[in-house]
Amino acid sequence: MYSVLVRRLVRMLTVLVIACAIGFAAPAQTNAPPYRIHSTLPAFSIRLIDGGYFNTVRIRKGSPSVLMLVSPDCHHCSALVRELKDSLAAISNVNFVLASPPMPFEEIQKFAVVNGIARQGQLKIGQDTAFFFGSFFHAGTVPFVVVYDRQKKWFSTLSAMNHISELLAELRKVP
């Protein structure tokens, strides 16, 4: 009887030691933002300025994609969006989704009109009503830019972008 208990105790301790060893050997990704763990372009919806909805599932493969978190009350965002509007012809093969955090919808509509991006075909702008962008990408500032490659795989993140030229340089690196 005593030997049976000892064998069981040894087996339990062995399992515990192996489990602990695996736990320590595994990379700790609990603090990593989800986009670093799941590198495929996530599916989320934004409410477009015309009141409709756009889901990122509809973004076509074969072209790079840029997701940008902007805020209508951010002067830096306005300047970048105006620069982007002036550069769209040179980067016509890129899909753009500009998302604003939840705030009064009229402000987002006004932001799009004032900055001249309300009617740009390759550019979708709207409100991230569920603030998926902020939580998935751990975006703490605006503008916050994420670049995906032609196969919808994460390529890079630009959290402190000052000029569209930085984004253009990054897009030239996309394979």
Domains and CATH numbers, the chain: 32-173 (3.40.30.10)
> Does residue 21 register a pLDDT over 70?
no
> Does residue 14 register a pLDDT over 80?
no
Which of 104, 108, 119, 115 is CA-nearest to residue 71? 108
Which of 35, 59, 44 is CA-nearest to residue 156? 35
Strand order of the sheet with strand 123-127?
53-55, 45-48, 123-127, 95-100, 65-69, 144-148, 154-158
Distance of CA 99 to the CA centre of its chain: 10
Q: Write down the pTM of the prediction.
A: 0.80
Distances (CA, A) of 46 to 54, 99, 125, 156: 6, 7, 8, 22
Report residue 10's pLDDT band, with 50, 70 and 90 as the boundaries: very low
Cα–Cα distance for residue pair 161/175, rounded to 1 Å: 21
* Six token digits for residue 83: 């620069």
Report residue 131's pLDDT band, with 50, 70 and 90 as the boundaries: very high
The whole-chain average pLDDT of the chain stands at 85
Sequence letter at residue 3? S
Report residue 78's pLDDT band, with 50, 70 and 90 as the boundaries: very high
